[in-house]
Chains A and B, each alone.
Chain A
Amino acid sequence: MKLIYYPGCTVKNHARNFDVSTVSSMERLDVEVEELSRWNCCGTVHCLASDNLINRVAPVTNLIRVKEAQASEFMTSCAMCYNTLKRANIDVKKRADALETLNEFMYLEETKYAGDVEVLHLLEYLRDRVTFEKLAARVKKPLAGLKVACYYGCLLVRPKEVAFDDVENPTIMEDLIRALGATPVPFPLKTDCCGAYHTVGKPEIIAERTDKIMGSAHEEQADLVIVSCPLCAYNLDFRQEDARRLNPDFHHLPVLYFTQLMALAFGCDESALRFDLHHIDPKPALAGLGLA
Chain B
Amino acid sequence: MGGVRQTETEGGKADNQGQPQARTVTISIMGKRAQVPEDATIMRAIEHTGQQIIRGAGCREGFCGACGTIYRMPGDYRIHTGLACTTMVKEGMALAQVPYVPMEKAVYDLEALTPDVDTIKRLYPSIFRCVACGTCTKACPQGLQVMDYVQAAKRGDIADLMELSFDCVACGLCALRCPAEIVQHKVGILGKRLYGRYLRKESKELDARLQEVKDRKFDSEYAELMSLGREALSERYYARDSE
Q: Which positions in A face B, CB cutoff 8 Å?
A: 9-10, 12-14, 38-41, 43, 54-55, 57-58, 61, 105-108
Q: Would you call B157 and A12 a contact (CB within 8 A)?
A: yes
Q: Would you call B157 and A41 a contact (CB within 8 A)?
A: no
Q: Which residues from A are CB-within-8-Å of B157?
A: 12
Q: Would you call A41 and B116 a contact (CB within 8 A)?
A: no
- If A13-B155, A13-B156, A108-B138 touch, whether A57 touches B132 (CB-CB below 8 Å) is yes
Q: Would you call A54 and B147 a contact (CB within 8 A)?
A: no
Query: Is B133 on the interface with A (CB-CB < 8 A)?
Result: yes
B160 to chain A, nearest CB (A): 10
Q: Which residues from A are CB-within-8-Å of B155?
A: 9-10, 12-13, 41
7 A/B residue pairs, CB under 8 Å, sorted by A: A9-B154, A12-B156, A13-B156, A41-B151, A57-B131, A106-B134, A107-B78
- If A9-B155, A40-B148 touch, whether A57 touches B133 (CB-CB below 8 Å) is yes
> Please, which residue of chain A has its CB at the minimum distance from the CB of B120?
A13
Bound CA–CA A54/B135 (angstroms): 11
6 extra interface residue pairs, beta carbon distance < 8 Å, beyond A43-B131, A55-B131: A13-B116, A38-B145, A41-B132, A41-B151, A54-B131, A57-B133
Q: Which positions in B face A, CB cutoff 8 Å?
A: 78, 116-117, 130-134, 137-138, 145, 147-148, 151, 154-157, 179
Across the interface, A41 reaches (CB within 8 A) one of B130, B156, B179, namely B130
Bound CA–CA A108/B136 (angstroms): 11
Q: Which residues from A are CB-within-8-Å of B78?
A: 107
> Please, which residue of chain B has its CB at the minimum distance from the CB of A58?
B132
Q: Which residues from B are CB-within-8-Å of A14?
A: 117
Q: Which residues from B are CB-within-8-Å of A13?
A: 116-117, 155-156
Q: Which residues from A are CB-within-8-Å of B179?
A: 54
Q: Would you call B134 and A41 a contact (CB within 8 A)?
A: no
A28 to chain B, nearest CB (A): 26
Q: Which of B116, B117, B134, B157 has the most CB of A within 10 A?
A: B134
Across the interface, A40 reaches (CB within 8 A) one of B116, B138, B147, B156, namely B147
Bound CA–CA A13/B117 (angstroms): 7
Q: Would you call B138 and A43 a contact (CB within 8 A)?
A: no
Q: Which residues from A are CB-within-8-Å of B132?
A: 40-41, 43, 57-58, 61
Q: Which of B116, B132, B156 has the most CB of A within 10 A?
A: B132
Q: Which residues from A are CB-within-8-Å of B147?
A: 40
Q: Which residues from A are CB-within-8-Å of B134?
A: 57, 61, 106, 108
Q: Which residues from A are CB-within-8-Å of B116?
A: 13
A59 to chain B, nearest CB (A): 9
Bound CA–CA A100/B56 (angstroms): 39
Bound CA–CA A13/B130 (angstroms): 18
Across the interface, A58 reaches (CB within 8 A) one of B117, B131, B145, B148, namely B131
A77 to chain B, nearest CB (A): 15
> Please, which residue of chain A has its CB at the minimum distance from the CB of B153?
A9
Q: Which residues from A are CB-within-8-Å of B130?
A: 41
A120 to chain B, nearest CB (A): 21
Bound CA–CA A57/B151 (angstroms): 13
B154 to chain A, nearest CB (A): 5
Bound CA–CA A39/B132 (angstroms): 11
Q: Which residues from B are CB-within-8-Å of A106?
A: 134
Q: Would you call A38 and B137 a contact (CB within 8 A)?
A: no
Q: Which residues from B are CB-within-8-Å of A40?
A: 132, 147-148, 151
B148 to chain A, nearest CB (A): 6
A9 to chain B, nearest CB (A): 4
Bound CA–CA A30/B209 (angstroms): 48
B164 to chain A, nearest CB (A): 10
